[in-house]
Amino acid sequence: MQPDGLISQMQEKNPKAFERIYERYSESLFGIIYSIINDKVLAEEILQDVFMKIWDKSDTYDSSKGRFFTWTLNIARNASIDKMRSKAFKNKKKNLTADYFVDILEEKSNFVDRVDAVGVKKYIKILKPYCKKIIDLLYFKGFTQAETSEELDMPLGTVKTRNRNCIKKLREILVE
Amino acid sequence: MDIQKYISSGVLELYVCGALPEGEGREVSKELKKHPEIKKEVEEIEAALSQLSSAAAPYNPNEVLKSIQDKIGNKKVHRLPQEKRSRNNWVVYIGWAASIALLIGLFSLIKDNNDLRKDLNQSNAKKVVLEEEVNEAESKAEDAEGNKQEAEKMLAAIRNENTVKVKLKGQEKVAPNSYAAAFFNPEENKLIIDAKGLPEPPEGKVYQVWSLTFDPLKPTSVGLLDRFDQNEKKLFQLANANSSQGFGITLEPTGGSKTPTMSQLYTLGKVTG
């Protein structure tokens, strides 16, 4: 459920509301940022910038354009991509190959002592290879439908229906 | 519009990802406000994706919040000392003209002065923050006390020996899985609605409670379940002076309606005994 009450309180600059919003969205945005930048320290820096932006610009969120979650996603993805393109980052990470949320999940699931390792494994198991690709582009990297279609050499309509089926699989895990 | 077809087209998934062109996104936002089924679907998609990317987070970033709050807070505080600095420069200028010895003396004085000012500013800023915290804690305590009293009053009303409980069953057509309960005390004209089992009303809509008499069927409005999303316990107290034989809850446009919209009848139940 979208916390519309909290969002409007944050737009009126209520710091408590901001705190709730942070608690609610920070972890998933952190995952998005990390999957793009693949560096924990930088990801944390970007997360800070992203939430400062969410606070500063909250009055520009317009519910007729889309979900609040989607609005925050766009901020997070843009900030990460900007960072990745910056010179400092390029110098630091010369040999960086494109990263991918599945790699992160796999790496995470290898820590046997982690409580959530089992949960993470479920995602890897349930998603078909094309799902991993499609969700990576559309959700983690913020590609448009048209860009995804081009990247995967797949008709527009197929992108749409496959993405739905893949996310359906994810929802099955949630219900369990 | 065929809602099921719309949902299964995959457009909502693209909407949540932010992969639609702006125009199409606006269309979806409109449909979402009109149809609770679509809103529910979007929220489930969002929850699934949000969990997936949370799983990809290297750790839970709760600790990071503190430093963001510090930065947001500091912005306000830092503006204060700016103006005062120019006057110090002027003092320094005089110092130069006078003598180097005097200058050295002055420098140390200025430094002390600056340090003191800084301290003072910092203390003031700290004081403001502390005051805010105290105010907040006080208002929280008041809220909690108010909530507690309210809850106790409701509990007493529900337990009253004259209060009858009326189960309001979800109506097959609109909301088969919903339910609610009415606690009606005809002696004191009190009516409490427990709406925990109702979905959140879509934007621009509100639940309206109706007192019913049968043969012939006559509905009378008892009131609205106002501020539904903010009512944590989903218990609503209303006054009902009717000799009710039953109660119904319908979904109506904000502000309520004069007569119930029967096609949006969510729950219904008869008073027995």
| Structural domain count, chain B | 2
Above 80 in pLDDT, residue A13? yes
pLDDT of residue B80: 43
Looking at the whole model, is its pTM more than 0.90?
Answer: no
**In Å, how far is B267's CA from the nearest CA of chain A?**
22
Outline where DSSP puts E strands in chain A: none
Q: Are residues B135 and B211 in the same domain?
A: no
The values of phi and psi at residue B167, to 5°, are: -80, 130
Supply the range of the domain harboring residue B12: 1-159
pLDDT of residue B241: 87
Residue among B235, B164, B226 nearest B193 (CA):
B235
Q: Computed over its alpha carbons, how large is the radius of gyration of chain B?
A: 31
pLDDT string in tens for chain B (273-residue length): 899 999 999 999 999 999 999 899 999 999 999 999 999 999 999 999 999 999 889 888 988 898 888 887 755 444 444 444 455 566 666 666 777 777 777 778 888 888 888 888 888 777 777 877 887 888 788 777 777 887 788 888 888 888 999 999 988 888 888 899 999 998 888 899 999 999 999 888 999 999 998 888 889 999 999 888 888 888 898 888 888 899 999 999 988 888 898 888 899 999 885
pLDDT of residue A96: 47
Q: Are residues A80 and A1 in the same domain?
A: yes
| Structural domain count, chain A | 2
Euclidean distance between CA atoms B119 and B114, whole angstroms: 8
Higher pLDDT, A116 or B70: B70
How many C-beta neighbours within 10 Å does residue A49 have? 18
Does A148 lie at the interface with B, CB-CB under 8 angstroms? yes
Domain boundary among B159, B185, B215: B159
Q: Are residues B108 and B1 in the same domain?
A: yes
Cα B8–Cα B10–Cα B16 angle in degrees, nearest 5: 125
Whether the Cβ atoms of residue B180 and residue B250 lie closer than 8 Å to each other = no
pLDDT of residue B135: 79
Higher pLDDT, A39 or A71: A71
Average pLDDT of the residues in A34-50? 92
Average pLDDT of the residues in A115-137? 81
Above 90 in pLDDT, residue A119? no
A153 found inside a domain: yes
Higher pLDDT, A88 or B44: B44
Partners of residue B44 in chain A, C-beta under 8 Å: 171, 174
Q: Are residues A81 and A123 in the same domain?
A: no
β-bridge mates for residue B270, sequence order: B246
Partners of residue A25 in chain B, C-beta under 8 Å: 50
Q: Are residues B108 and B177 in the same domain?
A: no
**In Å, how far is B32's CA from the nearest CA of chain A?**
10
The closest CB to that of B56, out of A35, A40, A144, belongs to A35
Sheet holding B179-185, edge to edge: B218-224, B205-213, B246-253, B265-270, B164-170, B179-185, B190-194, B235-239
Domain boundary among B159, B187, B205: B159
pLDDT of residue B86: 52
Does B136 lie at the interface with A, CB-CB under 8 angstroms? yes
CATH code at A29? 1.10.1740.10
Domain boundary among B128, B159, B190: B159
Question: Best of B5, B8, B13, B231 to disrupt the A interface by mutation (most A CBs within 10 Å)?
Answer: B13
Partners of residue B136 in chain A, C-beta under 8 Å: 16
Residues 6+ apart with CB under 8 A from A32: A73, A76, A77, A80, A139, A140, B53, B56
Above 90 in pLDDT, residue A143? yes
Does B29 lie at the interface with A, CB-CB under 8 angstroms? yes
Partners of residue B11 in chain A, C-beta under 8 Å: 160
CATH code at A127? 1.10.10.10
pLDDT of residue A111: 61
Supply the range of the domain harboring residue A164: 108-176
Q: Are residues A5 and A79 in the same domain?
A: yes
Q: Are residues B171 and B129 in the same domain?
A: no
Q: Confidence class of residue A95 from pLDDT cuts 50, 70 and 90?
A: very low
Does B14 lie at the interface with A, CB-CB under 8 angstroms? yes
CB hemisphere CA count around B85 (13 angstroms): 6
Q: Which residue of B has its CA nearest to A136?
A: B53
Outline where DSSP puts E strands in A75-121: none
Q: Do B57 and A167 touch (CB under 8 A)?
A: no
Q: Are residues B148 and B220 in the same domain?
A: no
Does B255 lie at the interface with A, CB-CB under 8 angstroms? no
Q: Do B15 and A67 touch (CB under 8 A)?
A: yes
What residues 20-79 of chain A have any CB closer than 8 A to a CB of chain B?
Answer: 22-23, 25-32, 34-35, 40, 43-44, 47-48, 51-52, 55, 63-67, 69-70, 73-74
Which two structure tokens, joined as six digits, stand for A113?
């002592």
Structure ipTM:
0.91
Q: Confidence class of residue A176 from pLDDT cuts 50, 70 and 90?
A: low
